[in-house]
Every structure is written in structure tokens, then in C-alpha cells.
């Protein structure tokens, strides 16, 4: 699969052991992280427009992110954190949300409480 240079840079840094991608601006185009392994990656404070379809994002941190319109379909999101994030139009169809946290995240004006998940 051919990926754009910015996506490939993040995947290469991850493969080299880097997990900290805080405050990234990944919203200037649509990024494709489908089927990627990004377990434990930290995206805190980032603006992201991307597909994470079927990605392994267990223990990933999306705290205070803008992930509006991102596609997390089929992603492994067990114990991932989306606290305080903007989720409007994000898709979580078939995602594993076991132990994930969406506390204080918002979507379409609704603010999630502890233990509540997007539909």
C-alpha cells in the first residue's frame, strides 16, 4: 500500500519506537492509517482527519483531540482515551471499545459521561 509522506513519517517514527505525536495537525487532507499498528500512540491535542479502519489503537491517547469525521470502523480501541475530544461525525462501527474512555468528549452538542460510548 502506498501512503503519503506525512503518514509514512508517523508510521516510521512509530516503528522506531516513538509514541508521542502530540499537537499534530493532520487535518489538511485525509490521512490513511487503516490497518496500522499504533498501540499506545499519544495524539493528545491533535487535529486529525483520517481513516483508522481496522487499526490497532489499543491504549492510544486521543485526549483533547479533534477527530471529527475520522473513521475508526473495526479498530481495536480497547483502553484508548478520547476524553475531552470532539467526535462529531466520527464513525466507530464494529470497533472494540472495551475499557475505552470518552468522558467529557462531545458529539453534536452531547457531552459523554463516564462509561458512555458513541453509537
Question: Quick one: fold of 21-119?
Answer: Pectate Lyase C-like (2.160.20)
Look at residue 1 and tell me whether its pLDDT is greater than 80.
Answer: no
Domain ranges, ordered by start, for the chain: 21-119
Indicate the SS3 state at residue 6: helix
| Residue 105's pLDDT band (cuts 50, 70, 90) | very high
State how beta strands 110-111 and 47-51 pair: unpaired
- pLDDT, tens digit, for every residue of 25-52? 999 999 999 999 999 999 999 999 999 9
Look at residue 6 and tell me whether its pLDDT is greater than 80.
Answer: yes
Nearest to 91 by CA among 47, 37, 53: 53
pTM given for the model: 0.95
Amino acid at each position: 500500500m502506498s501512503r503519503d509522506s506525512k503518514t509514512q513519517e508517523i508510521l516510521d517514527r512509530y516503528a522506531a519506537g516513538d509514541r508521542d505525536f502530540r499537537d499534530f495537525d493532520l487535518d489538511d487532507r485525509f490521512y490513511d492509517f487503516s490497518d496500522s499498528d499504533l498501540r499506545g500512540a499519544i495524539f493528545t491535542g491533535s487535529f486529525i482527519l483520517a481513516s483508522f479502519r481496522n487499526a490497532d489503537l489499543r491504549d492510544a491517547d486521543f485526549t483533547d483531540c479533534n477527530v471529527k469525521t475520522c473513521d475508526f470502523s473495526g479498530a481495536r480501541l480497547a483502553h484508548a482515551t478520547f476524553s475531552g475530544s470532539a467526535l462529531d461525525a466520527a464513525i466507530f462501527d464494529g470497533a472494540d471499545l472495551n475499557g475505552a474512555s470518552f468522558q467529557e468528549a462531545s458529539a453534536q452538542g452531547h457531552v459523554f459521561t463516564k462509561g458512555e460510548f458513541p453509537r
